Amino acid sequence: EVQLLESGGGLVSPGGSLRLSCVASGFTFSDYTMTWVRQAPGKGLEWVSSIGGSGDTTYQPDSVKGRLIISRDNSKNTLYLHLNSLRVEDSAIYYCARVPISVGPPDWGQGTLVTVSS
């Protein structure tokens, strides 16, 4: 069974930093592109970043480029999201998800809450 378990969220001041982790199990982690998606309170879903299976290729929208950095450690089956120069508008639940290789459903974790407030 595919399991994705996020951690690392919490309360941080504007301008601060945080590192989120997502531990994967139940599949060969390095075979899959992984993604972070976030959801601000009462809002819709927003794609944050994706990373290829080897970790060599990353993708992200311009809105977060340079501040939110995705990485992975395949030896630890762990996906990371480094959040830097945090803004109040970065407050959200952050979900990690596995991108299906072909026909199949994306698998999501339960999320970790990040609150940016002074």
CA neighbor of 47 nearest in space, from 30, 65, 32, 35: 35
Residue 16 C-beta: closest distance to another protein, Å: 25
Residue 64 C-beta: closest distance to another protein, Å: 12
Footprint of another protein (CB under 8 A): 33, 35, 37, 44-47, 50, 57-59, 61, 95, 100, 103-106, 108-111
* Contact indicator for 47, 37 with CB cutoff of 8 Å: yes
Residue 47 C-beta: closest distance to another protein, Å: 4
Give the residue with the Cβ less far from another protein, 75 or 103: 103
Give the residue with the Cβ less far from another protein, 54 or 59: 59
Give the residue with the Cβ less far from another protein, 13 or 101: 101
Give the residue with the Cβ less far from another protein, 9 or 109: 109
Q: How many whole angstroms separate alpha carbon 34 and alpha carbon 53?
A: 7
Residue 55 C-beta: closest distance to another protein, Å: 13
Q: How many whole angstroms separate alpha carbon 100 and alpha carbon 24?
A: 14
* Contact indicator for 60, 35 with CB cutoff of 8 Å: no
Q: How many whole angstroms separate alpha carbon 13 and alpha carbon 71?
A: 23
